[in-house]
Amino acid sequence: MRILIVEDEPIIARRIARLTRSILDDANLIIEAAEGLDSAQDALLERDIDLLFLDLNLHGADGFDLLTTSVAGAFHTIVISAYTDRAIEAFEFGVLDFIGKPFGRERLAQALQRLHAPGARTDPPARYLAVRASGRVTLIDVERVLALQGAGSYSELVLRDGSTTLHDKPLKRLVTLLPDDFVRIHRSYVVRMSAVAHFLAREGSRYAVELHDGTTLPVGRTRVDAVRERLV
Amino acid sequence: MHARLTAFALLVLSVGLSVPTALGQDTASKDIRQGTVRFGDDPRWADPAYDDSTWPTEWLYPAPDSLGIHWMRARITMDSTRAPFQPYGLKLSMLAAAEVYWDGVLIGRNGRVGPTRAQEEPGTIRAVFPVPDSLYTPGEHVIAVRLSNFYMPPDFAYYLYDFEVGPYASLLTDWTDWALVPFLFLGGFLIIMVYCAVLYALDRRSTALGLFSLLCLCVAALLATEVTRAVINYSYDWHPVRIHVLTALTTAVAGLLPLFFMHQFEAPHTRPVMAGLAGLLTLSLLLPASTDEQHYWMFWSTLTTSLGVVGWAVVQQKRGAVPALSGVGASIGGLAASGWWFIDTYFFPTFALIVVALLASLGLQMREQRRQREAAQLAAARLEIELLKKHLQPHFLMNTLTAAMEWMEEQPDVGVRFIEALADELRLLVDVSDQTRIPLATELTLCRRHLEVMGYRQDRTFKLQVEGVEPEAPVPPAIFHTLLENALTHNRYTAPTVCFQLTGDSLDSGWRYTLRTPRNGPASAEGREGTGLRYVRARLRESFGEAGSLTSTSRNGTWTTIIELHSGD
């Protein structure tokens, strides 16, 4: 596991690293630190970072720009900020957690737990998904998203107008940030349950859901019961 | 004289005040303006049948200047229409003792006419005698007056002021009716005098207010002296005294008016201007003329001098100069229009205009002062809040607390020192935030506490080297503190030890402080003036006004801020 800390206060960066190490107790843990997002660009573009601790002054002019750049990445972002009054907005942009300064070990542990807890969802969920396309980050309203399809270590967002767009995060990470209306129905599919019209049982124990717009998506065998339960 | 008083009354009416008058009775009063006067004494001269055709034919106004017993004879023709149940009378206002004969019948006495000063008993300045119904008949009547005037100074030009026949009641009251309006003015001037005196007592620096109070007092006294005649029927030998008092008060008013304007508008050259005015006033008093004429020239002197001062003030765009100019202008217009009668007619109403103009300009000045005071208070409050807020801001406070937590967990003894330094800094900030000047020593302690806190936060040593300063010298609170904070915010220091330098240089009238901070921050922080520098400038303005200055330059990796504080304020 590889974690990047972006924090310009050296003592606080030290604190995050020290506490994280003691919480995760992972022999393969690599923790890097940078003073600012600009100096961390190289590290951010690499695919193997799992988590970014981002110190963010959300009152600054470019605080949210930095935030959207960060949440568009493949990794999860946990914001650590002195400005706790902007926490809800940060969640709406799709952060995994928002830790207010000052913080102790317990609070950090609670945030790190979200990384691995199965079925964990952020509260409040994201309202926007930041998508990096041709070097630019654009925001997509979650309301426009019907379904997500896994595409290797990326996700493809299927929008209401039928168009699709790629998100840098893998499906597993992305679903953590979404409202619980989005349900994993297949190893490679997540669907908005309120968009489902029918549950289809086909020959050979193959199952699928048909959306209101006629699209059909396969349902994994292991997930049939759970999906049916949600549809009743 | 009555004509002048009437003119004043009419003028006052035109100003918008109304006064009950005795005009418009069934039969109007008749002024007796023509007659003849003769020096000497003969009881036969009372006889209406006496042939006075050999007497010098001349106007009763003005009467001859000679002292002794005189006789005046005049003829008057009565209308046939006499109002029923209406008593009639004859009014004589003159500076003499008198006996009045109507068709040879003695109808009244004012004082006692005597052949020598010792034997004369002075009459009052005004007497109204009832004319018996039996004598007041239609047709021509002869009025003879025997009089003596031994109590007058020999050169006094006028002694007959009023000689008329008319309804008895209106003859009694017309002077007092006229006095009503001047008394209204009198009351107003007195109230303004007291008001300005109280303001002056509360703030001794406003000499103009004190002068204006004195001016109002003199004008009120002048007005009182002027209208005394209407309400107090004093004996005529007091008349010259009253005239001297009028001259003294006119002189005082003439001197005070321009002096007040010079103080009010802070005009230069007070002494030469006042000396010139004194010369003009002396010349006026030395004129071989009547006192009325002397007063007239005194008013010209004072009003033209005032016009010069106020005109200068208008050119200089002094506050309240325009209303003052209109007041003085109106006075000059009144003076030109009324001539010698100025004091009886236009003087008081136009002086009232000057008072209104002054009150307006005082009001404007007070409003301006209040605005400035309020703005200063507001600015002070804002600066205090700004200073405290900087340290309550999450960015400073929460980062500091987080770092403190880290030290407490890792090296508790360092953590304790950290929190002590933070507590010291916050305590000092609260102490100094509501002050305008603090000793430099306190400021330096505040700076060092902040550097200590930031040192713990960044795990670095920040040093402040100070040389050439005087610990007790006053500085605005938290200015160097803010500049250091700025340097720490806008730079990313990487060296284990970072040194800031403060140098003091003693100037003739204050101190020059030079603060040098190393620079290695992003270039974008340069050039624009941040909230920190704005705070420092505002504090300098508040504490030192124009006597404080700040310049800030960046060269060769060093940011240099020079602050000069001068003591002359």
- Residues of chain B numbered 235-264 and touching chain A (CB < 8 Å): none
User: What's the mean pLDDT in B88-106?
Assistant: 92
Interface of A with B (CB under 8 A): 8-12, 14-15, 18, 35, 57, 59, 81-84, 100-104
Among the listed residues B297, B298, B295, B158, the one whose alpha carbon sits nearest the alpha carbon of residue B240: B158
A101:B407 CB<8 A: no
Res B539 pLDDT > 60: yes
Q: Which one-letter DSSP state was computed for residue B506?
A: E
User: What's the mean pLDDT in B315-339?
Assistant: 87
**B564 three-state secondary structure:** strand
Res B26 pLDDT > 70: no
A48: closest CA of chain B, how far (Å)? 29
User: What's the mean pLDDT in B79-86?
Assistant: 73
B401:A15 CB<8 A: no
What pLDDT score was predicted for residue B157?
Answer: 53
List Cα–Cα distances, A131 to A135, A171, B111, B374, in angstroms.
10, 14, 118, 53
Q: Quote the CA–CA distance of A89 and A100 in Å, as a whole number.
A: 14
The answer to whether B397 faces chain A, any CB pair under 8 Å, is yes
Set out the domains of chain A in order of their start, with CATH numbers.
2-116 (3.40.50.2300), 181-232 (no CATH)
DSSP result, B147-211: EE-TTS-TT----EEEEEEEEHHHHHHHHHHHHHHHHHHHHHHHHHHHHHHHHHHH-TT-HHHHH
Residue of chain B with shortest Cα separation from A14: B406
List Cα–Cα distances, B393 to B18, B110, B185, B569, in angstroms.
69, 94, 63, 35
Sheet holding B558-566, edge to edge: B461-467, B497-507, B510-518, B558-566, B548-555
User: What's the mean pLDDT in B284-298?
Assistant: 87
Q: Which residues contact B440 (CB under 8 A, 6 or more apart)?
A: B469, B470, B471, B472, B473, B474, B475, B504
Q: The tokens of B253 are what?
A: 């008013």
Res B523 pLDDT > 60: no
Q: Quote the CA–CA distance of A111 and A99 in Å, as a whole number.
A: 8
Contacts of A12 in chain B (CB under 8 A): 399, 402-403, 406
* Closest partner CB to A101 (pick from B398, B410, B459): B398
Q: Quote the CA–CA distance of A111 and A90 in Å, as a whole number.
A: 14
B492:A35 CB<8 A: yes
B403:A12 CB<8 A: yes
* Closest partner CB to B394 (pick from A8, A14, A82): A82
User: What's the mean pLDDT in B64-82?
Assistant: 80
Q: Mean pLDDT check: name the lowest of A34-38, A83-87, B60-64, B97-101.
A: B60-64
Q: Amino acid identity of A98?
A: F
Q: How confident is the model at residue B22 (pLDDT cuts 50, 70, 90)?
A: very low
A101:B394 CB<8 A: yes
A15:B458 CB<8 A: no
Res B569 pLDDT > 50: no
Contacts of B409 in chain A (CB under 8 A): 15
Res A134 pLDDT > 90: no
Residue of chain B with shortest Cα separation from A10: B458
Mean pLDDT: which of A4-13, A114-123, B318-327 is highest? A4-13
The answer to whether B520 faces chain A, any CB pair under 8 Å, is no
Kindly provide the b/e burial profile for residues A168-203, where b requires at least 16 CB atoms within 10 angstroms of the residue's own CB: bbbbebbbbbbbeebbbbbebbbbbeebbeebeeee
Q: Which residues contact A159 (CB under 8 A, 6 or more apart)?
A: A140, A144, A145, A146, A165
Among the listed residues B447, B457, B436, the one whose alpha carbon sits nearest the alpha carbon of residue B482: B447
What pLDDT score was predicted for residue B158?
Answer: 58
Q: How confident is the model at residue B2 (pLDDT cuts 50, 70, 90)?
A: very low
Q: Mean pLDDT check: name the lowest of A177-186, B75-84, B86-95, B238-247.
A: B75-84
A117: closest CA of chain B, how far (Å)? 27
Q: Which one-letter DSSP state was computed for residue B235?
A: B
Residue of chain B with shortest Cα separation from A9: B458
A29: closest CA of chain B, how far (Å)? 21
Q: How confident is the model at residue B378 (pLDDT cuts 50, 70, 90)?
A: confident
The CB density around residue A4, as the number of other CB atoms within 10 Å, is 24
User: What's the mean pLDDT in B326-340?
Assistant: 86
The answer to whether B403 faces chain A, any CB pair under 8 Å, is yes
Burial of B251 (0-12, 13-18, 19+ CB in 10 A): buried
User: What's the mean pLDDT in B254-271?
Assistant: 92
- pTM (predicted TM-score): 0.61
The per-residue pLDDT of chain B, averaged, comes to 85
Burial of A79 (0-12, 13-18, 19+ CB in 10 A): buried
More confident residue, A50 or B342: A50
Over the stretch B155-173, which tens digit does the pLDDT of each residue have? 665 567 888 998 898 888 8
The answer to whether residues B465 and B428 touch, using CB atoms and an 8 Å cutoff, is no
User: What's the mean pLDDT in A97-121?
Assistant: 90
* Closest partner CB to A101 (pick from B402, B407, B456): B402
B403:A11 CB<8 A: yes
The answer to whether B399 faces chain A, any CB pair under 8 Å, is yes
More confident residue, B368 or B310: B310
* Closest partner CB to B399 (pick from A9, A18, A35): A9
Category of A94 on φ-ψ map: left (φ > 0), alpha (ψ -120 to 50) or beta: left
Q: Which residues contact A23 (CB under 8 A, 6 or more apart)?
A: A105, A108, A109, A112
B458:A14 CB<8 A: no
User: What's the mean pLDDT in B84-92?
Assistant: 87
Res B15 pLDDT > 70: no
ipTM confidence: 0.86
Among the listed residues B117, B123, B126, the one whose alpha carbon sits nearest the alpha carbon of residue B67: B117
User: What's the mean pLDDT in A182-207?
Assistant: 90
B458:A57 CB<8 A: no
Contacts of A11 in chain B (CB under 8 A): 402-403, 406-407, 456-459
- Residues of chain B numbered 464-493 and touching chain A (CB < 8 Å): 492
Q: Which long-range contacts (CB under 8 A, 24 or more apart) does B102-111 make?
A: B102/B131, B102/B132, B102/B135, B102/B141, B102/B142, B102/B143, B103/B48, B103/B135, B103/B141, B103/B142, B104/B46, B104/B47, B104/B48, B104/B49, B104/B142, B104/B144, B105/B132, B105/B135, B106/B46, B107/B131, B107/B132, B107/B135, B111/B235, B111/B236
Residue of chain A with shortest Cα separation from B491: A8
The pLDDT > 70 percentage for chain B reads 90
Res B9 pLDDT > 70: no
Over the stretch B60-69, which tens digit does the pLDDT of each residue have? 655 556 788 8
Q: How confident is the model at residue B522 (pLDDT cuts 50, 70, 90)?
A: low
**B515 three-state secondary structure:** strand
Res A228 pLDDT > 50: yes
Residue of chain B with shortest Cα separation from A103: B402
Q: Which residues contact B33 (CB under 8 A, 6 or more apart)?
A: B59, B60, B61, B163
What pLDDT score was predicted for residue B20?
Answer: 36
The answer to whether residues B492 and B520 touch, using CB atoms and an 8 Å cutoff, is yes
Contacts of A83 in chain B (CB under 8 A): 394-395
What pLDDT score was predicted for residue B81?
Answer: 67
Among the listed residues A202, A197, A75, the one whose alpha carbon sits nearest the alpha carbon of residue A146: A197
- Dihedrals phi, psi of B47, to nearest 5 degrees: -70, 125
Over the stretch B392-441, which tens digit does the pLDDT of each residue have? 888 899 999 999 999 999 999 999 999 999 999 999 999 998 888 999 99
Residue of A19, A101, A103 to mutate, testing the B interface (most B Cβ within 10 Å of its Cβ): A101
What pLDDT score was predicted for residue A29?
Answer: 92
* Closest partner CB to A12 (pick from B394, B397, B406): B406
Q: Quote the CA–CA distance of A12 and B403 in Å, as a whole number.
A: 6
B408: closest CA of chain A, how far (Å)? 11
Residue of A6, A11, A56, A81 to mutate, testing the B interface (most B Cβ within 10 Å of its Cβ): A11
Q: Which residues contact A150 (CB under 8 A, 6 or more apart)?
A: A156, A170, A171, A187, A188, A189
The pLDDT > 70 percentage for chain A reads 97
Question: In sequence order, what are the beta bridge partners of B439?
Answer: B474
B406:A103 CB<8 A: no
Res B144 pLDDT > 60: yes
Among the listed residues B50, B55, B54, B15, the one whose alpha carbon sits nearest the alpha carbon of residue B37: B55
Residue of chain B with shortest Cα separation from A11: B403
The pLDDT > 90 percentage for chain B reads 41
Contact pairs from chain A to chain B, CB under 8 Å:
54
